[in-house]
DNA sequence: ATGATGTCCTGGGCGC
DNA sequence: TGCGCCCAGGACATCA
């Protein structure tokens, strides 16, 4: 469920705990999450300092003072927990633990193991198979109505599927695609190639707006979260369509009811009245 | 090449 | 109370 805003929030929450901190100890409690954790993961990290953290799409990247970069994806259920170093036994699904030089533990916990943790060098990063075919960041300058239209104008899949495609735009998942299409009054059932240039011009600022609002909401809940238990989990956020089957559409003047359908094995929530 | 479908994984919710 | 079933879904593999 973590999409761009949740990953961004996680990155911001981790930064004070990890930036300019030395990793005095790294514990790998599993050889594989979704993909194998590198054999030499611990060896390449212990004693190194993290100099910078960033988000790219739904990935986190931690740059070290060596040539290495930690690449992390939260998958469906991955989260980080920041706590003081202690002797408590690790919890179930605590897969990777970073101990820093200020006596903190940063734990990666992921029950469903759809996430990943791997390493590459800075030189390999741009051409890394996880990143090389990725589309633009939705909050960056490159992403525009023209850009989106170019990406989808030959696509025969639905606009719902196209917006989930990380080669079209990165960072969106099932929830924010539903939200954006509702606000843009576009039916998730339409073919991507049928979405006009005028419509992509409308859609792009809506996508930006929704993501920025969610990041802001995440930022404010982060204070509460991190203060309470250091758990950088998912914040509560009010969605207008997602999970609201049977409720009224909130678009101005609309009397429609949010309906749930199945697209490609995934739930789509939308309003059949105002989303054309 | 594109699009459709299957796969990974566990916890939670539901019906019986 | 408990068992089994189904669902959630990001991204990749595989097939048509």
Confidence of residue A227 (pLDDT cuts 50, 70, 90): very low
> Could you tell me the fold of the domain covering A145-259?
Helicase, Ruva Protein; domain 3 (1.10.8)
Average pLDDT over residues A89-104: 93
Is A2 among the residues known to form the active site? Answer: yes
Average pLDDT value for chain A: 91
Residue A230 has pLDDT above 70, yes or no: no
DSSP conformation class of A193: G
Is A266 among the residues known to form the active site? Answer: yes
Confidence of residue A222 (pLDDT cuts 50, 70, 90): low
Domain with CATH 3.20.190.10 in chain A: 4-125
The pTM assigned to this predicted structure is 0.94
Determine the nucleotide nearest to A166 by Cα–C1' distance: C11
Give me the count of residues in chain A. 276
Check residues 206 to 235 of chain A and report those whose beta carbon is under 7 Å from nucleic acid strand C: none
What pLDDT sits at residue A234?
A: 61
Is A167 among the residues known to form the active site? Answer: no
A44-48, A57-61, A229-233, A243-247: lowest mean pLDDT where? A229-233
Using the CB atom, is residue A138 less than 7 Å from strand C?
no
Confidence of residue A223 (pLDDT cuts 50, 70, 90): low
Interatomic separation, CA of residue A47 and C1' of nucleotide C16, rounded (Å): 51
Residue A128 has pLDDT above 80, yes or no: yes
Token pair in block for residue A8 = 């961004």
> Cα-flanking dihedrals φ and ψ of residue A257, to 5°?
-115, 135
> Cα-flanking dihedrals φ and ψ of residue A253, to 5°?
75, 0
Assigned CATH for A4-125: 3.20.190.10
Using the CB atom, is residue A112 less than 7 Å from strand B?
yes
Query: Which nucleotides of chain B have an atom under 7 angstroms from any protein CB?
Result: 2-11
Check residues 82 to 101 of chain A and report those whose beta carbon is under 7 Å from nucleic acid strand B: 92-93
Which residue in A2, A3, A5 sits closest to A217, CA to CA?
A5
Is the Cβ–Cβ distance between A38 and A94 less than 8 Å?
no
Residue A113 has pLDDT above 50, yes or no: yes
Domain with CATH 1.10.8.50 in chain A: 145-259
Residue A269 has pLDDT above 50, yes or no: yes
DSSP conformation class of A265: T
What pLDDT sits at residue A182?
A: 95
Using the CB atom, is residue A35 less than 7 Å from strand C?
no
CB-based contacts of A236: which residues, under 8 Å, 6+ apart?
A221
Report CA-CA distances (Å) from A221 to A6, A92, A226, A231, A238. Answer: 11, 25, 9, 11, 13
Question: Which neighbouring-strand residues pair with A109?
Answer: A79, A94
Using the CB atom, is residue A114 less than 7 Å from strand C?
yes
Residue A108 has pLDDT above 90, yes or no: yes
* Interatomic CA distance for residues A110 and A112, integer angstroms: 6
């Amino acid at each position: 469920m973590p999409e761009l805003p949740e990953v961004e929030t996680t990155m911001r929450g981790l930064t004070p705990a990890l930036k300019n901190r030395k990793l005095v100890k790294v514990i790998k409690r599993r050889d594989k999450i979704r993909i194998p954790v590198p054999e030499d993961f611990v060896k390449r990290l212990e004693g190194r300092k993290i100099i910078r953290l960033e988000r790219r799409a739904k990935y986190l990247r931690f740059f070290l003072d060596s040539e290495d970069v930690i690449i992390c994806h939260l998958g469906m259920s991955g989260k980080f927990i920041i706590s003081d170093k202690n002797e408590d036994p690790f919890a179930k699904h605590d897969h990777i633990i970073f101990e820093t030089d200020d006596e903190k533990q940063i734990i990666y916990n992921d029950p469903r193991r759809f996430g990943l943790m791997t390493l590459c060098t800075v030189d390999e990063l741009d051409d890394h198979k996880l990143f090389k075919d990725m589309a633009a960041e939705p909050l960056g300058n490159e992403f525009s109505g023209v850009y989106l239209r170019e990406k989808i104008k030959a696509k025969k899949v639905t606009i719902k599927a196209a917006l989930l495609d990380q080669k079209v735009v990165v960072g969106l998942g099932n929830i924010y695609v539903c939200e954006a299409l509702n606000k843009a009054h576009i039916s998730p059932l339409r073919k991507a190639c049928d979405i006009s240039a005028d419509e992509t011009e409308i859609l792009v600022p809506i996508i930006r707006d929704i993501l920025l609002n969610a990041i802001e909401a995440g930022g404010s809940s982060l204070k509460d979260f991190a203060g309470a238990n250091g758990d950088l989990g998912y914040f509560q956020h009010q969605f207008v369509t997602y999970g609201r089957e049977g409720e009224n559409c909130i678009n101005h003047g609309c009397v429609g009811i949010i309906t749930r359908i199945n697209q490609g094995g995934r739930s789509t929530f939308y309003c059949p009245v105002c989303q054309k």
